[in-house]
């Protein structure tokens, strides 16, 4: 049953990732890969919210492993950062790393803290 929930969450997370990436990329100027940063930050916040709520339920398998696993993408983050470096856009590459990592960590922490407070 858990594997089916992970599978179903992944089936939803992957297209949501694609749609968010396309929408953000179309709205913002090139330079930084804002679409990938957005899905990683949003996914981090969702996962943080689940951590704060301390749910070990089937919902966690569906949302945390399935949906967030398919929504977020470390491999694309890595590829886009290396691409920026190979194009000589060192400031953008550094900015991508700093913004993506710092914002994703802040999102996890903030969401976990908020849901712990709300569920207490």
Domains of the chain: which residue ranges? 2-119
Give the separation between CA 87 and CA 43, rounded to whole angstroms. 28
Residues 6+ apart with CB under 8 A from 29: none
The answer to whether residues 83 and 97 touch, using CB atoms and an 8 Å cutoff, is no
The answer to whether residues 72 and 56 touch, using CB atoms and an 8 Å cutoff, is no
Residue 56 annotated as binding site: no
| Averaged pLDDT for residues 18-25 | 96
Residue 72 annotated as binding site: yes
pLDDT in tens, 76-114: 999 999 999 999 999 999 999 999 999 999 999 999 999
Give the separation between CA 43 and CA 61, rounded to whole angstroms. 14
Encoded tokens for 93 = 């590459």
Answer yes or no: is pLDDT of 49 > 80: yes
């Amino acid at each position: 049953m858990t594997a089916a929930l992970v599978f179903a969450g992944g089936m939803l997370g992957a297209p949501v990732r694609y749609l968010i990436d396309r929408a953000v990329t179309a709205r913002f100027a090139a330079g930084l890969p804002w679409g990938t940063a957005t899905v990683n930050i949003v996914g981090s916040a969702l996962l943080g919210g689940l951590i704060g709520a301390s749910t070990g339920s089937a919902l966690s398998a569906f949302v945390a492993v399935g949906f967030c696993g398919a929504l977020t993408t470390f491999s694309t983050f890595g590829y886009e950062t290396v691409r920026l470096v190979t194009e000589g856009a060192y400031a953008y590459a550094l900015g991508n790393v700093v913004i993506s990592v710092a914002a994703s960590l802040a999102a996890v922490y903030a969401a976990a803290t908020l849901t712990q407070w709300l569920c207490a």
